[in-house]
């Protein structure tokens, strides 16, 4: 058994210390409005000197312009008097993440390389399908959890994304797809998955605050049924995720055997499979109409045998889980120690699960040619100087 020492902690065994980051002041002293709740905007306006009733009205108007119309220039806000607009512009700003690079895959998948104001890079991916469009949103720059098959897990530097940076990804996608004003029908961006870089439940507050804004009916208006949060199994935060966010849950299971899951998802040494499945059984809102998705990456000769498939079925039955299984062909990256299971192996695995009455589709890899597929996201951020407030992965 591996023992954690002060010098060599087991990855995932020590929770990263989420260093409190006060909303970083911009160089020009203005305050970013994206990512603030309606109440926070109202408070900010009061702090700047508006009286309570005015602040409430203005907050409502700002919210509409920002999240319904996609406006980022106060001068375009026609229900705010022209003479008053500069008052806002001097104090506040409505911005977007900086785009460093935008790529389009031969299958239509798009990937953006984005940069935070303090010089950290992260990625966002949009996956268009015939009947929907899914935005894959990042929650952290890098990830502390070091799953051995995941490229993001090899990034050394980790910093939580602020709620403004998480909402900012959705705003940017709406800009890119020309989807303003917000409308309930005919959108290209219909679904959001928190499946980009990072472990969303290690950045709980910011992810929750951001998703609340994304779900607000007066603004971006995405239904919680169209949002999925994926976790590698941060068990103590799962109940809160259900209660305070209430979106669909996906769990990166990837193996049903302790020795293997300990190896490939090191967080398993802290929260084991049984504990994880108990938390899934208790997840509020999970039922047959809203199933929990179990993600299962297909790694050749590691987790892909018929016996593994049968054990997966046994566990799902044992915990009586309303589940579907998403089989993800392993996406390679430079230096990865794994190979993807052969297509016939994946089919055989899928059939065993399917024949037990559990849906087990194989996820078609998307955007592999631009390294946008699951587990391929990695940026050059780690080469940059460590920002003062960064959360650092246990080395
Ligand atoms: N940290 C969260 C959210 C990231 S989701 C989580 O792990 O759930 C990204 C999904 O892609 C996860 O299920 C992850 O395990 C999977 N993944 C990671 N690397 C992969 C790879 N190389 N090939 C296929 N899937 C991978
Ligand atoms: Fe982190 Fe998820 Fe990658 Fe694991 S699979 S290293 S939890 S992003």
What pLDDT digit, counting tens, does each position of 221-268 carry?
Answer: 999 999 999 999 999 999 999 999 999 999 999 999 999 999 999 999
| 307 SS3 class | helix
Is 60 exceeded by the pLDDT of residue 16?
Answer: no
Which pLDDT belongs to residue 391?
40
User: Has residue 342 been placed in a domain?
Assistant: yes
Task: Tell me if 144 CB under 6 Å of ligand 1.
Answer: no
pLDDT surpassing 70 at residue 380: yes
Q: Say yes or no: 241 and 306 in one domain.
A: yes
Strands of 98-104's sheet, edge to edge? 98-104, 110-115, 121-128, 133-136, 191-194, 227-231, 248-252, 292-298, 323-329
My answer on whether 48 and 179 are in the same domain is: no
143 CA to middle of ligand 1, Å?
11
Same domain, 174 and 54: no
Give the distance, in angstroms, between the CA of residue 24 and the centroid of all CA atoms in the same chain: 21
Give kind and range of the element (H or E) at residue 215.
helix 204-215
- The minimum-distance atom of ligand 1 relative to the CA of 265 is 15
Residue finishing a domain among 43, 69, 93? 93
Residue nearest to atom 1 of ligand 1 (CA): 199
Mean pLDDT rounded to a whole number for the chain: 90
Confidence band of 382 (pLDDT split at 50, 70, 90): low
Name the residue range of residue 231's domain. Answer: 98-388
DSSP state of 362: B
Residues 86 and 135 in one domain: no
CA 318 to CA 256: how far, in whole Å? 13
Residue 123 is among the residues annotated as catalytic for this protein: yes
Please write the tens of the pLDDT for every residue from 18-48. Answer: 443 444 567 788 999 999 999 999 999 999 9
Task: Measure 30 CA to ligand 1 centroid, in angstroms.
Answer: 37
Same domain, 80 and 226: no
Candidate from 19-23, 125-129, 204-208, 350-354 with smallest mean pLDDT = 19-23
CB of 126 closer than 8 Å to CB of 114:
no
The alpha carbon of 185 and the centre of ligand 1 are apart by a number of angstroms equal to 30
CA of 144 to the centre of ligand 2 (A): 8
What is the average per-residue pLDDT within 69-98?
96
pLDDT of residue 394: 38
Q: Are residues 113 and 222 in the same domain?
A: yes
Average of pLDDT values for 78-99?
A: 96
Do 262 and 215 fall within a single domain? yes
Q: What percent of the chain lies above the pLDDT cut of 90?
A: 78
Taking residues 273-290, report their average pLDDT. 93
**Are both 246 and 355 inside the same structural domain?**
yes
Instruction: Write out the two tokens for 148.
Output: 């051995």
In a domain, 6, yes or no: no
CA 366-368-372 angle, to 5 degrees, is 80
pLDDT band with cut points at 50, 70 and 90 for residue 186? confident
Q: Which two tokens stand for residue 327?
A: 């089989």
Among 116-125, 197-206, 279-288, top mean pLDDT goes to 197-206
d(CA 263, CA 338): 12
User: Which residue in the list 32, 123, 165, 199 is annotated as catalytic?
Assistant: 123
Mutate to test the pocket of ligand 2, among 148, 149, 153, 255 (most ligand atoms within 8 A of CB): 153
Ligand 2 nearest-atom number relative to CA 232:
7
Query: Which ligand has an atom closest to residue 201 CA?
Result: 1
The structural domain count of the chain equals 2
Is residue 15 situated within a structural domain? no
Atom 8, ligand 2: residue with shortest CA distance: 198
Question: By percentage, how much of the chain surpasses pLDDT 70?
Answer: 90
- Provide the pLDDT for residue 14: 47
Nearest protein Cα to ligand 1, atom 3 = 195
4, part of any domain = no
What pLDDT band is residue 15 in, cutting at 50, 70 and 90? low
- What CATH number does residue 47 fall under? 1.10.150.530
Question: Does residue 253 form part of some domain?
Answer: yes
Same domain (yes/no): 296, 261 = yes
Nearest alpha-carbon partner for 126 in 169, 166, 97 = 169
CA–CA separation, 117 and 103 (whole Å): 21
pLDDT band at 155 (very low <50, low <70, confident <90, very high): confident
Ligand 1: which of 195, 303, 366 to mutate, most ligand atoms within 8 Å of CB? Answer: 195
Q: Which atom of ligand 1 is nearest to the CA of 375?
A: 19
Q: Do 164 and 68 sit in the same domain of this protein?
A: no
- Among 45, 75, 93, the domain-final residue is 93
Place 7 in a pLDDT band, splitting at 50, 70 and 90. very low
Best residue among 144, 156, 198, 199 to mutate for probing ligand 2's pocket (most ligand atoms within 8 Å of CB) is: 199
Nearest ligand to the CA atom of 136: 1
* 58: in domain: yes
Q: Is the peptide bond before 369 cis (omega within 30 degrees of 0)?
A: no
Helix (H/G/I), strand (E/B), else coil: 31: strand
pLDDT top residue among 92 and 374: 92
In sequence order, what DSSP letters do the residues of 75-111 get, joined into one string? GG-TTS-TTTHHHHHHHEE---PEEEEEEE-TTS-EE
CB of 160 sitting under 6 A from ligand 1: no
- Give 186 or 239, the one with higher predicted confidence: 239
The finding on whether 195 has its CB within 6 A of some atom of ligand 1 is yes
Which H/E stretch holds residue 1? none
Measured from the alpha carbon of residue 199, the closest ligand is 1
Q: Which of 71, 93, 115 is the last residue of a domain?
A: 93
For residue 311, what pLDDT is reported?
98
- Which CATH number is 157's domain given? 3.20.20.70
Average pLDDT over residues 113-118: 92
CA of residue 5 relative to chain centroid, distance: 31
Is residue 86 domain-shared with residue 187, that is, in the same domain?
no
Q: What pTM was estimated for this model as a whole? A: 0.91
Q: Which of 165, 263, 374, 389 is catalytic?
A: 374
């Amino acid at each position: 058994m591996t023992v954690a020492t002060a010098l060599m902690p087991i990855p995932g065994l020590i929770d990263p210390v989420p260093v409190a980051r006060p909303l970083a002041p911009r160089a020009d002293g203005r305050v970013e409005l994206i990512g603030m709740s309606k109440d926070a905007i109202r408070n900010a306006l009061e702090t700047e000197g508006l009286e309570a009733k005015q602040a409430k009205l203005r907050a409502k108007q700002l919210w509409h312009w920002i999240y319904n119309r996609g406006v980022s220039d106060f001068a375009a806000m026609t229900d705010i008097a022209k003479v008053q607009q500069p008052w806002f512009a001097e104090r506040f700003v409505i911005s977007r993440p900086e785009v460093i690079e935008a790529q389009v895959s031969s299958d239509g998948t798009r990937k953006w390389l984005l940069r935070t104001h303090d010089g950290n890079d992260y990625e966002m991916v949009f996956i268009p399908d015939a009947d929907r469009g899914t935005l894959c949103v990042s929650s952290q720059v890098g990830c502390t959890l070091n799953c051995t098959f995941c490229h993001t897990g090899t990034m050394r530097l980790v910093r939580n994304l602020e709620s403004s940076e998480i909402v900012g990804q959705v705003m940017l996608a709406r800009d890119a797809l020309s989807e303003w004003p917000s409308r309930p029908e005919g959108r290209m961006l219909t679904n959001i998955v928190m499946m980009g870089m990072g472990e969303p439940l290690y950045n709980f507050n910011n992810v929750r605050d951001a998703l609340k804004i994304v779900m607000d009916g007066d603004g971006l208006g995405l239904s919680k049924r169209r949002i999925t949060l994926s976790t590698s199994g941060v068990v103590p935060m799962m109940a809160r995720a259900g209660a305070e966010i209430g979106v669909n849950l996906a769990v990166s299971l990837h193996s049903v055997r302790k020795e293997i899951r300990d190896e490939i998802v090191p967080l398993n040494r802290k929260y084991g499979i049984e504990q994880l499945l108990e938390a899934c059984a208790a997840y509020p809102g999970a039922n047959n109409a809203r199933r929990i998705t179990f993600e299962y990456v297909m790694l050749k000769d590691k987790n892909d045998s018929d016996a593994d498939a049968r054990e997966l079925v046994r566990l799902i039955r044992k915990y009586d889980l309303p589940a579907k299984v998403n089989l993800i062909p392993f996406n390679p990256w430079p230096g990865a120690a794994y190979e993807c299971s052969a297509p016939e192996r994946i089919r055989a695995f899928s059939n065993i699960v399917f024949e037990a009455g559990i849906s087990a589709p194989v996820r078609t890899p998307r955007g592999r040619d631009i390294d946008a597929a699951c587990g391929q996201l990695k940026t050059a951020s780690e080469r940059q100087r460590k920002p003062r407030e960064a959360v650092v992965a246990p080395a």
